[in-house]
């Protein structure tokens, strides 16, 4: 989904470039890039949220948490991950309400395209729902690991990567690309 969202952004960027060229050479005048761009931006954002959870790329200010002992730190990490799931659920619920209202009203965009608003809103909501499900799944995985007293696994799932983790990952990726074994 993250790649599809990124592809949508790239497609809209190309469309906007085409619009600019058409205007510059006075060949024609299309004005759909702005509308499609706003839809693509919403999709690109929400469809990549789940990927960020899987890659542990969510931003946290954890200067103090890094100083705590391992168990309290993983409890805070688990709280942060579960908070993402709760926020996702609230956002998904609100987005679904918006989609159902647009469907009920038959709302359309106020542009030359006249797109039924429920279509981009439903795709946006799908991204939020997927993010929520992934965050819930990761929370459950981390909680199971914590209950099994596998602190390392719980941390691998829920914690933001440290600078050392990121360096190790970069070295492993470089070695992988060069065909070296670790």
- The string of pLDDT tens digits covering residues 108-156 is 998 888 899 999 999 999 999 999 999 999 999 999 999 999 999 998 8
Candidate ranges 6-20, 38-52, 115-129; pick with highest mean pLDDT: 115-129
pLDDT of the residue at 131:
96
DSSP 154-175: HHHHHSPPPHHHHHHHHHHHHH
Token pair 């439903």 is found at 122
**C-alpha torsion sign, points 49, 52, 54, 60:** negative
Stronger pLDDT, 157 or 166, i.e. the higher one: 157
Question: Angle at Cα 82 formed by Cα 81 and Cα 85, nearest 5°?
Answer: 95
Question: Alpha carbon of 114 to those of 9, 39, 66, 98: distances in Å?
Answer: 20, 13, 51, 18
Reported confidence tier of residue 181, pLDDT bands at 50, 70, 90:
low
106 pLDDT higher than 90: yes
Supply the pLDDT for residue 95.
97
- Tens of pLDDT along 50-84? 999 998 887 776 777 778 898 898 999 999 999 99
Determine the structural domain holding residue 60 and report its residue range.
2-178
Per-residue pLDDT at 111: 81
Tokens, residue 56: 């542990």
* pLDDT score for 100: 98
Structural domain total, the chain: 1
Predicted pLDDT of residue 127: 94
Average pLDDT over residues 32-38: 79
Flag whether the pTM goes above 0.85: no
Nearest 5 degrees, angle CA 11-CA 30-CA 109? 80
């Amino acid at each position: 989904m993250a790649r599809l969202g990124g592809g949508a952004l790239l497609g809209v960027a190309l469309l906007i470039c085409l619009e600019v060229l058409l205007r510059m050479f006075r060949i024609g005048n299309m004005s759909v890039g702005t509308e499609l761009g706003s839809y693509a931006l919403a999709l690109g954002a929400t469809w990549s949220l789940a990927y960020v959870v899987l890659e542990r790329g969510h931003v946290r200010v954890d200067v103090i948490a890094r100083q705590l002992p391992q168990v309290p730190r993983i409890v805070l990490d688990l709280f942060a991950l579960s908070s993402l799931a709760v926020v996702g659920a609230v956002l998904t619920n609100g987005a679904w309400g918006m989609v159902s209202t647009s469907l009920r009203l038959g709302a359309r965009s106020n542009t030359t395209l006249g797109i039924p608003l429920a279509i981009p809103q439903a795709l946006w909501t799908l991204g939020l729902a997927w993010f929520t499900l992934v965050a819930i799944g990761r929370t459950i995985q981390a909680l199971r690991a914590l209950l099994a007293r596998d602190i390392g696994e719980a941390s691998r799932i829920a914690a933001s990567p440290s600078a050392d983790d990121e360096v190790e990952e970069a070295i492993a990726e470089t070695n992988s690309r060069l065909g070296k074994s670790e």
